[in-house]
Structure 1
Amino acid sequence: MSRPLSYMRPAAQGFAVTLLVALAGCGLSSSRESAKPSEPVPVAPSVVPQGELRQSTVKRMVMKPASMPAPGVANDAVVGGYRVEPREQYEKLPDNPIHSVAETPVSTFSVDVDTGSYANVRRFLNQGSLPPDGAVRLEEMVNYFPYHYALPADGSPFGVTTEIAPSPWNPHTRLLRIGIKASDRAVADLAPANLVFLVDVSGSMDRREGLPLVKSTLKLLVDQLRDQDRVSLVVYAGESRVVLKPTSGREKAKIRNAIDQLSAGGSTAGASGIELAYQMARESFIDKGINRILLATDGDFNVGISDFDSLKQMATDQRKSGVSLTTLGFGVDNYNEHLMEQLADAGDGNYAYIDNLLEARKVLVGQLSSTLAVVARDVKLQVEFNPAQVSEYRLLGYENRALKREDFNNDKVDAGEIGAGHTVTALYEIVARGEKGWLDPLRYASVPKSDGTPGELAMLRVRYKPAEGGNSRLIEHPIAAAQQNDKPSDDLRFAAAVAAFAQQLKGDGRYTGAMSFKDTAQLARSARGEDPFGLRAEFVQLVELAQSLKPAP
Structure 2
Amino acid sequence: MAISRAKTCATVLAILSTTGMGLLAGCSSSGNYAAPEKVTTVDVREQGAAPPPPPPPANSVVVTGATRAADGLYAPPAPAFVPPVMPAVNPGRERYDGKEVSPVHLVQSEPVSTFSVDVDTGAYANTRRFLTQGMLPPADAVRTEEMINYFRYAYARPDSREAPFSVTTDVATTPWNPDTRLLRVGLRGYDLPRAARPPANLVFLLDVSGSMNSPDKLPLLKTALSGLAGELGPKDTVAIVVYAGAAGLVLPPTNDPRKIRAALDQLQAGGSTAGAAGLKLAYNIAEDNFIEGGVNRVLIGTDGDFNVGVSDRDDLIAMIEKKRDSGITLTTLGFGQGNYNEAMMEQIADHGNGNYSYIDTALEAKKVLGDEMSSTLFTIAKDAKIQVEFNPAVVSQYRLLGYENRALREEDFDNDKVDAGDIGAGHQVTAIYEIVPAGVKGWIGPRRYGKEAPKPNPAAREMAYIKLRYKLPGGSTSRLIERPLSAKLLANASAPSGDFAFATAVAAFGQTLRGDALMNGYSAGQIESLAGEQTDYWRQEFLKLVDMADSLKGG
Would the TM-score normalized by the shorter structure come out above 0.5?
yes
Cα distance in 2 for residues equivalent to 1:449 and 1:350:
44
Which shows bigger deviation, 88-97 or 443-452? 443-452
Q: Take 1:381 and 1:547, find their aligned partners in 2: how far apart are those partners?
A: 34
Aligned to 2:114: 108
Offset at residue 151 of structure 1 (A): 2.3
Equivalence map 1:99-138=2 (5 Å): 99-138=105-144
| Inter-CA distance 415–451: structure 2 relative to 1 (3 Å threshold) | farther
1:470 counterpart SS class: coil
TM-score normalised according to structure 2 size: 0.82
Shift of 1:153: 4.5
Counterpart for residue 539 of structure 1: 542
Residue 367 of structure 1: which of 368, 372, 391 is its match?
372
> Is the 8 Å Cα contact of residues 205 and 264 (structure 1) preserved in structure 2?
yes
The aligned counterpart of 1:549 is 552
In 1, the alpha carbon distance for the partners of 2:456 and 2:177 equals 27
TM-fit CA distance, 1:254: 1.2
TM-aligned CA distance change 1:447 to 1:547, over 3 Å: closer
SS in 2 for 1:340: helix
Q: Which residue of 2 aligns with 1:225?
A: 232
Q: Secondary structure at the match of 1:436?
A: coil
Tell me how far 1:320 sits from its aligned partner.
Answer: 1.7
Residue of 57, 68, 83 corresponding to 1:36: 83
Aligned 1:28-107 pairs, distance under 5 A: 36=83, 57=87, 74=91, 85=92, 87-107=93-113
Deviation (angstroms), 1:551 = 4.3
Counterpart check, 1:438 vs 2:468: no
1:186 Cα deviation from its structure 2 partner = 3.3
Answering whether residue 201 of structure 2 is matched by residue 194 of structure 1, we say: yes
* Closer, same or farther: CA 287–453 of 1 in aligned 2, 3 Å: farther
Contact 1:411 1:471 in 2 (8 A): yes
Q: CA deviation at 1:209?
A: 0.6
Alpha-carbon distance in structure 2 between the residues aligned to 1:146 and 1:57: 33
Q: Which residue of 1 aligns with 2:217?
A: 210
In structure 2, distance between residues paired with 1:36 and 1:385: 59
- C-alpha distance in structure 2 between counterparts of 1:239 and 1:187, whole Å: 38
- Matching residue within 180, 183, 194 for 1:176: 183
Q: How much has 1:487 moved relative to structure 2?
A: 4.3
1:120-153 deviation per Cα after TM superposition (whole angstroms, max 9, x unaligned): 0000000100000111000000000000112225
SS at match of 1:503: helix
- The answer as to 2:464 corresponding to 1:458 is yes
> CA 1:162–1:319 in structure 2 vs 1: closer, same or farther (change >3 Å)?
same
SS of aligned partner of 1:173 = strand
**Equivalent pair of 1:187/1:368 in contact (CA under 8 Å):** no
Change (3 A) 1:450 1:409: farther
Q: How does 1:470-481 map to 2 (within 5 A)?
A: 470-481=476-487
Per the alignment, in what secondary structure is the counterpart of residue 245 of structure 1? strand
TM-score (normalised: structure 1): 0.82
Q: Return the match for 1:333 from 325, 334, 338.
A: 338
The 8 Å contact of residues 344 and 350 in structure 1, kept in 2 or not, is answered as yes
CA apart distance, 1:295: 0.6
CA distance in 2 between counterparts of 1:256 and 1:464 reads 38
Asked if 1:406 corresponds to 2:431, the answer is no
Equivalence map 1:159-308=2 (5 Å): 159-247=166-254, 249=255, 251-308=256-313
Match of 1:518 among 495, 513, 525: 525
CA contact (8 A) 2:394 2:457 kept: no
SS in 1 for 2:300: strand
Q: Which is further off, 181-190 or 339-348? A: 181-190
CA contact (8 A) 1:88 1:333 kept: yes
Report the Cα offset of residue 307 of structure 1: 1.4
Could you tell me which residue of structure 2 aligns to residue 6 of structure 1? none
Amino acid paired to 1:494: F
Instruction: Give me the whole-angstrom Cα distance separating, in 1, the residues matched to 2:453 and 2:302.
Output: 55
- Identify the residue that residue 32 of structure 2 maps to in structure 1: none
Assess, with a 3 A threshold, how the Cα gap between structure 1 residues 96 and 496 changes in structure 2: closer, same or farther.
Answer: same
Alpha-carbon RMSD: 1.8
1:519: how far off?
1.2
Q: 1:447 to 1:548 in 2, by over 3 A?
A: closer
Q: Tell me which of 488, 500, 507 is aligned to 1:482.
A: 488
- The alpha-carbon deviation at position 300 of structure 1 amounts to 0.2
Aligned to 1:345: 350
Please give the secondary structure, in 2, of the residue aligned with 1:545: helix
Distance in structure 2 (CA, Å) of the matches to 1:275 and 1:183: 33
Which AA in structure 1 matches 2:511? Q
Q: Deviations over 1:39-68 (max 9, x none)?
A: xxxxxxxxxxxxxxx7x636x96xxxxxxx
Question: Greater shift after overlay, 484-493 or 223-232?
Answer: 484-493
For 1:283 and 1:334, locate their aligned partners in 2 and report how far apart those are by CA, in whole Å. 34
**Measured at CA, do residues 271 and 164 of structure 1 come closer, stay the same or move farther in structure 2, by a change above 3 Å?**
same
Q: Which position in structure 1 is the counterpart of 2:508? A: 500
Which is higher, the Rg of structure 1 or of structure 2? 2
CA distance in 2, matches of 1:265, 1:234: 15
Question: What are the ranges of 5 or more consecutive residues in structure 1 without an aligned counterpart?
Answer: 1-33, 38-53, 62-73, 75-84
| TM-aligned CA deviation for residue 311 of structure 1 | 1.3
1:4-44 deviation per Cα after TM superposition (whole angstroms, max 9, x unaligned): xxxxxxxxxxxxxxxxxxxxxxxxxxxxxx8636xxxxxxx
CA distance in 2, matches of 1:57, 1:362: 25
* Identical amino acids, percent of aligned pairs: 55
Report the CA distance shift for 1:450/1:522 in structure 2 as closer, same or farther (over 3 A). Answer: closer
| Distance in 1 (alpha carbons) for counterparts of 2:458 and 2:398 | 22
Look up the match of 1:376: 381
CA distance in 2, matches of 1:525, 1:473: 38
CA contact (8 A) 2:439 2:455 kept: no
- Counterparts of 1:453 and 1:215, CA distance in 2: 61
Stretch of structure 1 that moved more, 135-144 or 299-308? 299-308
Q: Which runs of 5+ in 2 are unaligned?
A: 1-80
How far the C-alpha of 1:188 sits from its partner, in A, is 3.8
CA-CA distance at 1:364 after TM superposition: 1.2
